[in-house]
Amino acid sequence: MSTGTLPQPSIAQLLAVPSPQCDKRWLRRCLQIAVQLELSTIPPYLYAYWSVEDPAAELADALLGIAWQEMLHMGLACNLLTAAGGTPQLTGELGGVPVAPRYPTALPGGVQPGLVIALKGVSATVEDPEDVLRVFMDIEEPEHKVTPHARGATIGQFYARIAAELPRIAETEGFGGGCQVALKIGGDELTPVEDVKAGLAAIKLICEQGEGTGQSPNGGTDPAERAHYYRFAEHWKGRRLLQREGEQVWDFTGEAIPRPAVLPLAQVPEGGWPSPPENLVEALADCNTAYRAVLASLQAQWSGSDGVSSPDVQGDVMRRLTVAARRLLKLQPTPVYGPEFLA
């Protein structure tokens, strides 16, 4: 059964459903929103990455690495959804709303009401309240909230509820199979979700890599292995995260992390670039075409017959998007905007 025929509820509505009423249909609705949540973060993270002048800078490495992990999390959510008997939707519309969001946008499912996600370059200074990194921290808020002003349910809380209900739903209605996809994404492996054990492991990985917990950034002493929330926080604050000696408490009291040189990429307005110069029209169109090709390629993989497929998601379609984005920036004497990500 495809989730595409179901009206889209909010996460608050899904979380309000009493446990005995959470069935496979409820699970498919949750997992389609999970797919859209992960998808919605990838363009803003890539846009911020392209705003860092030196791709070898630690901040650039962090942004690109996190974008790849969000692709992994989206893939895991897609495999979870197929195991629940659904077909992930990455293109087209659901309930009259595009699945791939147009920026600026709210998070799918009403997560963090009032939070606006935009395509915007990184600020040139640390602890700038308008810095897009600050918004990224809100997106990745852990299940047990760290940020006092965080609003509504977090993505971590949403996944925790899915994990809590999955074993009971699987026991009564079954779980596993469908069109699974296996591939290498960045430095990680997307693996099939064939049973409840694999499903719970997938959710655990998504949460640990993305949000961590309110008490721990995970990853030990290696900053590159910490959860997304804490990696963004280190670069926003400009200080390394350290654990207090003998305590389970972490503070941003370590060495300073300099902010690298960044391109002054403004926020892409609603609807895309305002009147792009004639010499940039083709380059901008190439970016949008490349992004649509990425989504179409992935949609095709999860729309196949039962079994496991292994596409090359890091192949031509992803390279084409990167090349198109770099060309767009290079053609501007002083870069003003990056890609629009119009699907």
Position with higher pLDDT, 160 vs 4: 160
Superfamily of domain 3-264: Ferritin, core subunit, four-helix bundle (1.20.1260.10)
- Give me the mean pLDDT over the 148-166 stretch: 80
Residues 229, 237: Cα–Cα separation, whole Å: 12
The single residue listed with the structure tokens 């990184």 is 122
Q: Write out pLDDT tens, residues 43-92.
A: 999 999 999 999 999 999 999 999 999 999 999 999 999 999 999 999 99
Candidate from 133-137, 219-223, 242-246 with smallest mean pLDDT: 219-223
Residue 245 is predicted with a pLDDT of 74
Contact assessment for residue 93 and residue 295, using Cβ atoms and an 8 Å cutoff: no
How would residue 4 be classed by pLDDT, with cut points 50, 70 and 90?
very low
% of the chain exceeding 90 in pLDDT:
66
Contact assessment for residue 252 and residue 241, using Cβ atoms and an 8 Å cutoff: yes
Residue 152 is predicted with a pLDDT of 64
Residue 149 is predicted with a pLDDT of 45
- If you average pLDDT over every residue of the chain, what do you get? 88
Residues 131, 125: Cα–Cα separation, whole Å: 8
Please give the torsion angle defined by the CA atoms of residues 317, 67, 46 and 313, in that order, rounded to the nearest 10 degrees.
0
Candidate from 48-52, 126-130, 211-215 with smallest mean pLDDT: 211-215
Best CA proximity match to 298, nearest among 23, 90, 20, 34: 90
User: Under the phi-then-psi rule, with left for phi > 0, alpha for psi from -120 to 50, and beta for the rest, what region is 59?
Assistant: alpha
Residue 143 is predicted with a pLDDT of 59
Residue 43 is predicted with a pLDDT of 97
Position with higher pLDDT, 275 vs 2: 275
The single residue listed with the structure tokens 């030990």 is 220
CB-side exposure of 19: number of CA atoms within 13 Å?
A: 8
% of the chain exceeding 70 in pLDDT:
88
Please give the torsion angle defined by the CA atoms of residues 308, 194, 108 and 301, in that order, rounded to the nearest 10 degrees.
10
Position with higher pLDDT, 198 vs 156: 198
Tell me: pLDDT of 221 over 90: no
Give the torsion sign (CA, 190, 194, 200, 201).
negative
Residue 317 is predicted with a pLDDT of 79
Residues 132, 106: Cα–Cα separation, whole Å: 14
